[in-house]
């Protein structure tokens, strides 16, 4: 039960990031190269969000994967490796 609750919260954070940036699901779907319907399933938690897409979102929102998956509440991304 705890694992399911954690998964739901991850999708909540992805939705919050999108809404905080005043973006539509369609706009994010284009960024991820998927359909709006696919993105809607990811954001609602019906489908598991692939890590490759989470990496794209982290770059797009200028945050870390750890923030998206709620391992931290710090939005600032980590420094990139040179």
The pLDDT of residue 73 is 87
User: What pLDDT score does 1 carry?
Assistant: 45
**What is this structure's pTM?**
0.82
Q: What b/e sequence results for 33-69 when a residue is b if at least 16 CB atoms lie within 10 Å of its CB, and e otherwise?
A: ebeeeebbbbbebeeebeeebbeebbeebebbbebbb
Which CATH superfamily does the domain covering 2-68 fall into? lambda repressor-like DNA-binding domains (1.10.260.40)
φ and ψ at residue 49, rounded to 5 degrees: -80, 120
Q: What percentage of the chain reaches a pLDDT higher than 90?
A: 60
Domain segments of the chain: what residues? 2-68
Q: What is the pLDDT of residues 29-69, one digit of tens each?
A: 999 999 999 999 999 888 888 899 999 999 999 999 999 98
């Amino acid at each position: 039960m705890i694992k399911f609750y954690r998964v739901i919260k991850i999708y909540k954070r992805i939705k919050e990031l999108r809404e905080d940036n005043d973006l539509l699901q369609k706009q994010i779907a284009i960024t991820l190269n998927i359909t709006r319907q696919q993105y809607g399933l990811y954001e609602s938690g019906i489908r598991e969000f692939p890590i490759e897409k989470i990496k794209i979102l982290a770059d797009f929102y200028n945050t870390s994967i750890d923030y998206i998956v709620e391992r931290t509440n710090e939005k600032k991304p980590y420094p990139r490796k040179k």
